[in-house]
Amino acid sequence: MRILVAGDWHSDLHEEAVYRAFAALGHEPYRFSWHQYFKGAGTGLIGQFTGVAGRIQNRLIAGPLISRLNLDFIAAVLEVRPELIFVYRGTHISKDALKTIKEGLPGTVLVGYNNDDPFAQGHSRLLWRHFLAAVPAYDLMLAYRLHNLEDFRRAGARRVELLRSWYIPERNRPVKLTSHEAEQFSSDVVFAGHYEADGRDLLLEGIVHEEGVRFRLFGPEWQHVVKRSPVLARLAPIVPLLGDEYNKALCGAKIALCLLSKLNRDTYTRRCFEIPAAGTFMLAEHSDDLGALFREGKEAEFFRSTGELIEKIRHYLRHDAEREAVAAAGRARVVADGHDVVSRMRTLLAKI
């Protein structure tokens, strides 16, 4: 099957993973990316001007570059003539472009997927206006979260199915760290993820206060937080993890935290598959959804308060064999249940 995967394509975790999974399943995938449209062109003042203009149009999702992007998208589709189009987080794809494609290739199946929650309060309406307007033009909308199923139906979706996030086996796996890597990444407890103003800074301060616990924090947007927190300032500098460093940070930890985004109204997240896949013990913020995916105390552990978080950290750092058994069972669970990206795409094709 010819499949065109379209998206911003700024990282290897999203569109690229989908593209490679379709290839692994024996299909013929094609790429259409749009992040490069906004980088600017030329040198000197011209390059600076086009770069600024590109960033403004990318932020506003309006202007001649957006029009050109959609025309190029239509042209690429008509050239490839795919049987399936998978649009990942189609913030820049217009309803009119999808309608034009459907008129020219009525047999092509249009599928939309988005890992963020465009219906949540706090998200920019500007960011999601094209995406939401285009929902009725897709043949199938894939919801990342259970509560988004009804959201998409109310937005006019023809058909909605749940497609959870995934781990990538070649990126998320147990690895043995070198002595140099151990100096960089070994810890008792690690949180590798973004900052969000949902109280997670206070939660992490509680861990830092815990005497004798080696805690490490990695991820974007934390630098301004540690500047105003004398407690988290002890962890500075906070750096993002590049490439396989994320997996090494997980593998170097005895316990890895999984926190849920309140902005996206998450009841699970990609890390709940990546942490067990790395063979690391997962201590996650509790939700009924996560409780249905992992057996508490057997395949993962959950906390419902800062007190329970600290209590379970203390317990599992004192009981190595118990912690390692839970970590091993968690990895066995994500493998057996097919939470890898290839299994996800196989499930999607079966739905189609």
Rounded Cα gap, residues 300 and 193, in angstroms = 18
| Mean pLDDT score across all residues of the chain | 95
Residue 332: closest CA among 292, 291, 273, 254: 273
Q: Please state the rounded mean pLDDT for residues 146-150.
A: 96
Rounded Cα gap, residues 207 and 310, in angstroms = 7
- What are residue 11's phi and psi, to 5 degrees? -145, 170
Contact 289, 273 (CB under 8 A): no
Decide if pLDDT at 46 tops 80. Answer: no
Rounded Cα gap, residues 240 and 223, in angstroms = 10
Rounded Cα gap, residues 303 and 333, in angstroms = 20
Q: Please state the rounded mean pLDDT for residues 115-125.
A: 88
Give pLDDT, residue 64: 96
Collect all residues with Cβ–Cβ distance below 8 Å to 350 and sequence separation of at least 6.
none
3-class secondary structure for the chain?
CEEEEEECCCCCCCHHHHHHHHHHCCCEEEEEECHHHHCCCCCHHHHHHHHHHHHHHHHHCCCHHHHHHHHHHHHHHHHHCCCEEEEECCCCCCHHHHHHHHHHCCCCEEEEECCCCCCCCCCCHHHHHHHHHHHHHCCEEEECCCCHHHHHHHCCCCCEEECCCCECCCCCCCCCCCHHHHHHHCEEEEEECCCCCCCHHHHHHHHHHCCCCCEEEECCCCHHHHHHCCCHHHHCCCCCCCCCHHHHHHHCEEEEEECCCCCCCCCCCCHHHHHHHCCCEEEEECCHHHHHHCCECCCEEEECCHHHHHHHHHHHHHCHHHHHHHHHHHHHHHHHCCCEHHHHHHHHHHHC
Q: What is the pLDDT of residues 65-114, one digit of tens each?
A: 999 999 999 999 999 999 999 999 999 999 999 999 999 999 999 999 99
Q: What is the pLDDT of residues 292-306, one digit of tens each?
A: 999 999 999 999 999
Contact 341, 21 (CB under 8 A): yes
Give pLDDT, residue 295: 98
Decide if pLDDT at 254 tops 80. Answer: yes
Question: Residue written as tokens 């994500």?
Answer: 334
Give pLDDT, residue 11: 83
Q: Please state the rounded mean pLDDT for residues 239-263.
A: 95
Decide if pLDDT at 58 tops 90. Answer: yes
Q: What is the pLDDT of residues 181-192, one digit of tens each?
A: 999 999 999 999
Rounded Cα gap, residues 135 and 213, in angstroms = 48
Q: What percent of the chain has pLDDT over 90?
A: 88
Q: In DSSP terms, which residues pair with 167 in a beta bridge?
A: 340
Collect all residues with Cβ–Cβ distance below 8 Å to 40 and sequence separation of at least 6.
47, 48, 49, 50, 51, 52, 53, 54
Q: What percent of the chain has pLDDT over 70?
A: 100
Within 10 A of 336 (CB to CB), how many other CB atoms are there? 8
Rounded Cα gap, residues 347 and 338, in angstroms = 9
Give pLDDT, residue 239: 83
Collect all residues with Cβ–Cβ distance below 8 Å to 261 and sequence separation of at least 6.
196, 198, 269
Query: Which domains can be identified in the chain, with CATH numbers?
Result: 2-163 (3.40.50.2000), 179-336 (3.40.50.2000)
pTM of the model: 0.94
Contact 133, 95 (CB under 8 A): yes
